[in-house]
Amino acid sequence: MKLTDFRVLTFDCYGTLIDWESGIVAALRPLLARVPGGLSRDAALAAFARHESAQQVETPRMIYSDLLAAVHRRLAEEWGVAATDADHARFGAAVPDWPAFADSAPSLQYLKQHYKLVILSNVDRESFKGSNQRLGVVFDAIYTAQDIGSYKPDPANFHYMLDRLVALGHGKRDILHTAQSLFHDHGPARRLGLASAWINRRGDQDGWGATAPPPAGAGYDFTFPSLAAMVEAHRAERRG
C-alpha cells in the first residue's frame, strides 16, 4: 500500500490540522486560574476529553459551540469553580481562535495538487469557517457533526461521508482517512474498512490528551509525526 494509491484524503480537523489542545488550554485558562491548587495541562485535557465524549453521546444533535459551553459548565462544576453563562458561552465560541499547526496550510496546499481534500469533523459549520481561514485551502467537501446529527466515533458520520463520496464517484479504495485521534477516527475507520494515516501529533507524550483512550482494535495503515512528514513521504514515492 502506497500513499499514491489514493485519490481522496478525508481529514479530521481538530487535533490533526488545528492545534486544538493548545486552543483548549488557552480558552480554559480563566477557569483553570481559579482551580484551588491548580491543575496540570495533561489533567485539564483529560478532564475535557472525558466530559466532551460524554456530552456528545448525551446530546448528539447539539451544535458544537453549544456543546463546548456545556462541557465548560461541567468542568467548572467538577473543579468547584464559579463561572457564569457568559464564561461558558465564551469557551464555546473559541474554536475560530484555535491555532493551526505550522505545517498544516503548506502541506494542504501541496496535497491539493494530488488529491481531493475532504473534511469530516466534530464541529459546527460556523466554527469551522474560522478554522478554514487558517488552513488556506478550499476543501472539495466539508461534512460536520451539525450536518450529520451525531459525533464521531459514531459510524453514522463515516457512512454519511462515504455515501456522499460514492455519489461523487469515489469508492472506499480511493479514500485515505487522515487523522490524529485513534478514538474518534481510526477505530471507526478500521471497522468500516477504510485505510487510514495516523498523524501522531502528540509523539511520545504520555496519555491521550484531549481525546478519550482508543478502543481495542483501533489501527492504521500509515503513521507520520506530522502532516509535513506525510508530504515528504508522498514526494519520495513520486520520485520512485
Residue 80 burial (C-beta neighbours within 10 Å; 0-12, 13-18, 19+):
exposed
Which residue has cell 462515504? Answer: 162
Give strand ranges (E) for the chain.
8-11, 116-121, 141-144, 175-179, 195-199, 222-224
- Return the bridge partners of 14, or none: 18
Give me the active site residues, please.
Answer: 12
Which residue has cell 453563562? Answer: 85
Q: What is the number of other CB atoms lying within 10 angstroms of the CB of residue 21?
A: 24
Q: What is the number of other CB atoms lying within 10 angstroms of the CB of residue 85?
A: 9
C-alpha cell at 164: 456522499
